[in-house]
Structure 1
Amino acid sequence: MTGTQQFNGKVMVVPVIEDTVDKDTIYQTVTERYFLPRYSVDPNGRKGEDLCILYHSNKICVVTLARSHPVVREGKQVVKVDFSVSQKLNRLANKATGKGKKGAQFLQATSVLCMVECADGSSYKVYSCLTGKLVEVNERLVDRPQLIEERPHAEGFVAIVLPNFKNWEQQRDKLLTETQYQEHVKSRTSVQYSAASESEGNQLQMETG
């Protein structure tokens, strides 16, 4: 649909704005444009419970579930995201102020940020994966826990962490790049598929033997 407009006495045909946009173009999200993803696979020995750490140029990091995490990969129904990680420690009580994030809870790479509980009875610990200060946790997950599965790299992020300035590069470099992560997941999937095929073959042999 088009319209008309007069310019210097001439009538010009003006297309509507929707027709001027290339609908086939894939535009990057804010996360894709401004954050560099790194990955922690099998954190703390939790097989397959992979996490993604999004690095901003100002060194602030966003902790999220990776695409290969069971909650995201299997599209699980999340019923609760609990930031009360122990009887004495609630991440919602974190108060960070100023540029130095004074008063923030201090985190080790093995520190638990929250617990994710699913309708099928499964539960998962989400780790910091970084040494540093907790800037904030995503309080929206308390009322809308399903966001952690539906939009893990956007509204469903878990927490924002400020890594230790003295070794933030070393911490980053210990995590997998996007390419390394994809290769790892592909390799792990191949091993699982081979194991499953072998198991099925053994079962069939027992039934027919």
Structure 2
Amino acid sequence: MCNILESIDLKEIDNFKSFTDRYFTKRFIVNANGVKNNDIMLMFHSNRITLLSLAPSHFFFKNPQTYSLNFFVGNVDRLCNTVKGKSKKGGQYLTPKSVICKVEYEDGTNFEIPCGMKSTLIEINEELVKNPHLLKEKPDSGGFIAIMLSSIAISDATKKELLTFEDYSKLVSDKVNL
């Protein structure tokens, strides 16, 4: 009888795509809000759900300081967002420049993370709230920042406006090792 673990070629494990790589289409915003290297990644699912994250070329990844995430922006607490029902009523309305959270460093400096598209906030990633280090360690999977929902028309139009992974890679290839 064969042991099931012996039947797996461990070299092939590296070839498995993550959940987000399999089911989401990545699009990129470079220099969001006119800030150099403030690069955002939006991951679109066919069901109109969009995940917000930082792109690999974002300046955040080069700063070794300890950081925390603040979801109270302006006079809105993004953590208090509540949606109900199949149509997700009650979610916070977002414009492309709406701030989802702030990254605050130990030296007192900070930066804001915009959502990048017109949508409704469905929820903030609770795992990220508990473990902020996921933002740096797994930005395109467990470290996504928020889940957003938009209409089909807005989702499709936004995808067309933003950079594809290939175009983004060409543009930032000198800034980061993708």
TM over 0.5: yes
User: What is the correspondence of 1:1-209 to structure 2 with a 5 Å cutoff?
Assistant: 14-25=1-12, 26-72=15-61, 74=62, 76-86=64-74, 88-119=75-106, 121-186=108-173, 189=175
- With over 3 angstroms needed to count, the CA separation of the structure-2 counterparts of 1:138 and 1:163, relative to structure 1, is same
Q: 1:172 to 1:179 in 2, by over 3 A?
A: same
Q: Distance in 2 between matches of 1:96 and 1:28?
A: 31
1:107 is matched by which residue type in structure 2? L
Q: Is the 8 A contact 1:78 1:118 kept in 2?
A: yes
> 2:115 & 2:66 partners in 1: Cα distance?
20
> Under a length normalisation based on structure 1, what TM-score does the superposition of the two structures give?
0.77
Percent of aligned pairs with the same amino acid:
34
Pick the structure with greater CA Rg: 1
> Contact 1:70 / 1:76 at 8 angstroms: preserved in 2?
no
Distance 2:146 2:83 in 1: 13
Instruction: Structure 2: give runs of 5+ residues left out of the alignment.
Output: none
How far, CA to CA, are the matches of 2:50 and 2:97 in structure 1? 16
TM-score (norm 2): 0.90
Report if the CA contact (8 A) 2:48-2:150 is conserved: yes
Deviation for aligned residue 1:108: 0.2
CA contact (8 A) 2:18 2:141 kept: no
Deviation per residue, 1:27-56 (Å, 9 max, x gap): 111111111111111111111011111111
Give, in whole Å, the separation in 1 of the partners of 2:146 and 2:160.
20
- What is the aligned length? 174
3-state DSSP class of the match of 2:73?
A: coil
Give structure 1 stretches of 5+ with no counterpart: 1-13, 191-209
Name the structure, 1 or 2, with higher relative contact order (CA <8 Å, separation 6+).
Answer: 2
- Name the CA distance, whole Å, in 1 between partners of 2:65 and 2:126: 18
- The alpha carbon displacement at 1:100 in A equals 1.9
C-alpha deviation, 1:171, in angstroms = 1.1
State the distance in 2 between where 1:55 and 1:66 align. 14
